[in-house]
Amino acid sequence: MIEKSALPPQDPLPRAAEQEGAKASACTRIVPVVLAGGSGTRLWPMSREHFPKQLIGVVGSDTLLQATVRRLDGFAPEWQVAGAPVVVCGEEHRFVIAEQLRASGVEARLVVEPARRDTAPALTLAAAHACANGDDAILVVMPSDHAIADIDALQRALECAARHAQRGAIVTLGVPPRSPETGFGYIRVGEPLGDGAHRIGGFVEKPALELATQYIAQGGYWWNSGIFVMRASVWLDALRTLQPDMHAACLAAFVDGEQDGAVFRPAAAAFKGSPADSIDYAVMERLSGSSGWTSEGVVVALDAGWSDLGSWDAVWAAMEKDEAGNVGRGRVLFEGAVACYAHSDGRLVACVGTSNLVVVETADAVLVADRSKVQDVKGLVARIKAQHAPEAESHRKVQRPWGFYDSIDQGERFQVKRIVVTPGARLSLQLHHHRAEHWTVVRGTALVTRGEESFLLTENESTYIPLGVRHRLENPGKVPLEIIEVQSGAYLGEDDIVRFDDTYGRCN
């Protein structure tokens, strides 16, 4: 919990108006803020509700999250970029996010939201966390699921944005449009400020095709990238004025939150009381006028090969193509194909004489779609979810904080899983009401707790866990532990787990 005795009464967060002018204008410390709480399924079957697109490698060897947290590497030396970005995410993704950041060598500060409340409350928690000790840093706020081809161009735009944020403006990056897209919001560009920046003239909702075409023809409208730059105290002051209920709920959640190493947990009840709203709706569209808040809204052009990767067609457009316009990832062959995107997670995918197709193969699903119809994937996933099919929510291979499991086979009253436990890790002490389990070690050494006994199993040895018996699996060795688990029973769902002790704080 935040130490209340060290905070001013009722409000621990600095106000922009209370910062000395010279100190505020001299602020050069930048804190990257990565918003990683999304759960979109438009890139199904690679993206799932429990494994969204920011966690997958769509356009490179890194995942989108890993690419995002590195975007300020090598930033201009006159700006002091904090070494530890603030990453805001949900509880369901925090272990995978932590592991991906560890694999990238990034020491981030995780703020774990107890519920989804959209981007404005998420940014408010990050701003509070960034300036809890009176530090009024400049926040560079980035979605975790976008692609940017030219990092140098991005950093130049962010330098310009940071200069305006120094003086108290709230800045967004706008993308000069390449086509009349109907899936993006637009920013109307206002008066130029002399350095490539403009005042914000207004915001426009996602337009119909005819209106988007008019915007392109007349000029002066840019796509809204969702990247923002502002001082932490300026954001908090804006929210205090424009969204007092949200400010109060987020402040209470922050003050009563718990710090556990690099993980900060806001108070759940207070945060769930916050209204849900986006940064654009909550603040950006209300920066001036009768709202009582008159801080300047500024937009800076971002011409850096930006894409929100909102569909498979956008992924195709963002990637390097062969001479026939095809993009292939994994085990893919094209024969007489034109303008196709094909992805394989394992099996060979061959496209012969096809045009403008998307083919995506995973271990448990295959998507074949016309590139012009990929926006309909969202509706398809809704139908899959309505059928209570598991392919809408999770992959066959599911990441866990201790390793992963892969559901190899299943049928009536049985399921077979391959379980891999990383060295030194252990599963929770648990029991099941509806299933029994048989474990066979195929690699490594297992330390098994079963009821009141504990014992070791090595390769080719096995044990049986009866229904209703407390048990735990641990890897005491230095190599990954791999077992085959055969479950049998009337119900085999993952919610049939009662946890009594868990290293990762997941007890019932």
Q: What does the pLDDT read at residue 15?
A: 60
154-163, 204-213, 468-477: which has the minimum mean pLDDT? 204-213
Q: For 383, what's the count of Cα atoms within 13 Å in the CB-facing half-sphere?
A: 5
Alpha-carbon distance of 461 to 447, in angstroms, equals 12
Give how far Cα 174 sits from Cα of 163, 199, 357, 400, Å: 16, 11, 30, 37
Average pLDDT over residues 251-261: 92
Give how far Cα 441 sits from Cα of 188, 430, 456, Å: 62, 19, 10
DSSP code for 155: H
* Look-up of token digits 């070791």: 456
Considering only CA atoms, which of 186, 76, 85 is closest in space to residue 126?
A: 85
Give how far Cα 161 sits from Cα of 130, 169, 170, 273, 300, Å: 19, 9, 9, 33, 6
DSSP code for 418: E
Identify the burial level of 325 via C-beta atoms within 10 angstroms of its C-beta, where 0-12 means exposed, 13-18 middle and 19 or more buried: middle
What secondary structure does DSSP assign to 78-93, as a single string?
Answer: TSEE-SS-EEEEEGGG
Residue 224 in 3-state DSSP?
strand
Q: What confidence tens digit (pLDDT) does each residue in 92-119 have? A: 888 899 989 988 888 899 999 999 999 9
12 has pLDDT over 70:
no
477 has pLDDT over 50:
yes
First CA to last CA across the chain, in angstroms?
22
Token duo for residue 156: 């130049």
3 has pLDDT over 50:
no
The DSSP bridge partners found for residue 476 are: none
- Per-residue pLDDT band for 1 (boundaries 50, 70, 90) equals very low
Contact 155, 72 (CB under 8 A): yes
The CATH number for 27-307, chosen from 3.40.980.10, 3.20.20.150, 3.40.50.20, 3.90.550.10, is 3.90.550.10
Token duo for residue 134: 């009176």
* Look-up of token digits 């560890």: 102
Alpha-carbon distance of 68 to 63, in angstroms, equals 9
Alpha-carbon distance of 52 to 300, in angstroms, equals 29
Contact 142, 86 (CB under 8 A): no
Token duo for residue 483: 């077992």
DSSP code for 426: B
Token duo for residue 397: 């291979």
Percent of the residues in the chain that have a pLDDT greater than 70, as a whole number: 93
Alpha-carbon distance of 463 to 466, in angstroms, equals 10
Residue 463 in 3-state DSSP?
strand
Number of other CB atoms surrounding residue 154 within 10 Å: 23
Domain spanning 397-501, CATH architecture = Sandwich (2.60)
Residue 411 in 3-state DSSP?
strand
- Per-residue pLDDT band for 437 (boundaries 50, 70, 90) equals very high
Q: Where are the domains of the chain?
A: 27-307, 316-386, 397-501
Residue 215 in 3-state DSSP?
helix
DSSP code for 9: S
The DSSP bridge partners found for residue 104 are: none
H or E element in which residue 109 lies: strand 109-113
Alpha-carbon distance of 491 to 493, in angstroms, equals 6
Contact 306, 181 (CB under 8 A): no
47 has pLDDT over 90:
yes
Alpha-carbon distance of 443 to 231, in angstroms, equals 52
- Per-residue pLDDT band for 156 (boundaries 50, 70, 90) equals very high
Average pLDDT over residues 206-224: 90
Q: What does the pLDDT read at residue 6?
A: 34
149 has pLDDT over 80:
yes
Average pLDDT over residues 117-143: 90
Q: Which residue has the higher pLDDT, 178 or 293?
A: 178
